[in-house]
Amino acid sequence: MVRKRLSVFHFLLASTICGASTLTEEAVARDASSSTKSVKKAAGSPAVKKPAVSRPHAVKASGGGEEIHVAGRAASAQGVTGREPGGGLMRLETRAGTIQSVTRDFIAKQPPSANPVQVLSLTPSAFVTLTEPYGIAGGNLTLRGLPGDHVGWIYNGAPVNDVGDGGFYANQTSDGDNLKSVSLMPGSVDIDTPSISAAAGSAYAELIDPSHRRGGFVDFSYGSYNMHREFVRLESGDIGNTGVRAFASFSNTATDNWRGPGKFTRKHVDFKLIKDFTPESRWTINASYNTNQLQLDMYPTKDQFAEYGKHLDYKSRFDKNDRTNYYKYGLDAFQNLIASAPLSLKLADGLRFDDTPYLWWGSGTIGGVSTVEDGQTYSGNQPVDVDVANGTTVYSPLYFSYHRTGNNAKVTWTKGINTLTFGWWYEWSRTNQSTPVSYINQNDGGPANIYGDYGPNIYRTVNGKKWYLNDHNTFTQVNMLYLGDKVKLLQDKLELQAGVRLAMVNRKVDSYVPNLVQHRGQNVFEPLPQFSASYTFNRHHQLYVRGATNFKMPNNNTMFELYNVDGSMSTAPSDNVKPEYAINEEIGYRYHDDMFVGDISFFNYNFTNRQMTVLSYFGSAPMATTMNVGNQTSRGVDVQLATRPIFGHFRPYISFEYLDATTDTNIHYLGDYLQTKGKRPAQTPHEMGGLGVDWDNGHLFLNLNLKYVGSQYATLVNDEKLHPYITDTLTVGYRFSNVWRLRSPQIQLNFQNLAGSLYRNGVYSMSPFAHATTGVHGTQFAAGSAPTYTLSPPFTVSFSMSTGF
Report field, pTM of the whole predicted structure over 0.85: yes
Give the residue among 146, 179, 150 at the shortest CA–CA distance from 167: 150
* Residue 657 · residue 638 · CB < 8 Å: yes
CA dist list (Å): 598 to 28, 488, 542, 643: 21, 24, 10, 9
Question: Across residues 180-192, what is the average pLDDT?
Answer: 94
Q: Which residues contact 124 (CB under 8 A, 6 or more apart)?
A: 100, 638, 639, 640, 655, 656, 657, 688, 690
pLDDT digits (tens, 9 = 90+) for 226-254: 999 999 999 999 999 999 999 999 999 99
- Partners of 478 in beta bridges: 427, 505
Q: Which residues contact 554 (CB under 8 A, 6 or more apart)?
A: 522, 574, 577, 578, 579, 580, 611, 626
pLDDT digits (tens, 9 = 90+) for 721-767: 999 999 999 999 999 999 988 999 999 999 999 999 999 999 999 89
Question: Across residues 126-133, what is the average pLDDT?
Answer: 94
Is pLDDT at 622 greater than 90 in this prediction? no
Question: Across residues 578-584, what is the average pLDDT?
Answer: 94
pLDDT digits (tens, 9 = 90+) for 146-165: 999 999 999 999 999 999 99
Question: Across residues 414-443, what is the average pLDDT?
Answer: 94
pLDDT digits (tens, 9 = 90+) for 661-708: 999 999 988 889 999 999 999 999 999 999 999 999 999 999 999 999
Is pLDDT at 65 greater than 80 in this prediction? no
Is pLDDT at 46 greater than 90 in this prediction? no
* Residue 515 · residue 561 · CB < 8 Å: yes
Q: Which residues contact 18 (CB under 8 A, 6 or more apart)?
A: none
pLDDT score of 60: 42
State the pLDDT confidence band at 122, using cuts at 50, 70 and 90.
Answer: very high
pLDDT score of 626: 82
Strands (E), 664-738: 667-669, 672-674, 687-696, 700-709, 712-713, 721-722, 725-735
How confident is the prediction for the chain on average, in pLDDT?
Answer: 88
pLDDT score of 73: 55
pLDDT score of 361: 96
* Residue 55 · residue 539 · CB < 8 Å: yes
The helix, strand and coil proportions of the chain, stated in percent and rounded to the nearest 5, come to 5, 50, 40
Is pLDDT at 218 greater than 80 in this prediction? yes
Q: DSSP label at 310?
A: G
Is pLDDT at 620 greater than 80 in this prediction? no
Count of alpha carbons within 13 angstroms of residue 367, beta-carbon side: 26
Residue 3 has phi, psi (to 5 degrees) of -65, -35
The residue type found at 158 is: A
Strand, coil or helix: what is 119?
Answer: helix
The torsion of the CA quartet 120, 123, 126, 132, rounded to 10 degrees, works out to 40
By percentage, how much of the chain surpasses pLDDT 90? 77
Question: Across residues 88-102, what is the average pLDDT?
Answer: 93
> CA 122 to CA 727: how far, in whole Å?
10
* Residue 176 · residue 115 · CB < 8 Å: yes
Is pLDDT at 502 greater than 80 in this prediction? yes
Q: Which of 19-23, 135-139, 191-195 tops mean pLDDT?
A: 191-195
* Residue 204 · residue 62 · CB < 8 Å: yes
Enumerate long-range contacts of 769-772, CB under 8 Å, 24 or more apart.
769/674, 769/715, 769/716, 769/717, 769/719, 770/302, 770/714, 770/715, 770/719, 770/720, 771/719, 771/720
DSSP output for 481-524: EEEEEEEEETTTTEEEEEEEEEEEEEEEEEESS--S-SEEEEEE
State the pLDDT confidence band at 40, using cuts at 50, 70 and 90.
Answer: very low
> CA 534 to CA 39: how far, in whole Å?
25
Between vectors from CA 500 to CA 497 and to CA 502, what angle results, nearest 5°? 165
Is pLDDT at 322 greater than 60 in this prediction? yes
State the distance between the two ends of the chain, measured CA to CA, in whole angstroms: 54
State the pLDDT confidence band at 455, using cuts at 50, 70 and 90.
Answer: low
Question: Across residues 4-11, what is the average pLDDT?
Answer: 35
Count of alpha carbons within 13 angstroms of residue 785, beta-carbon side: 9
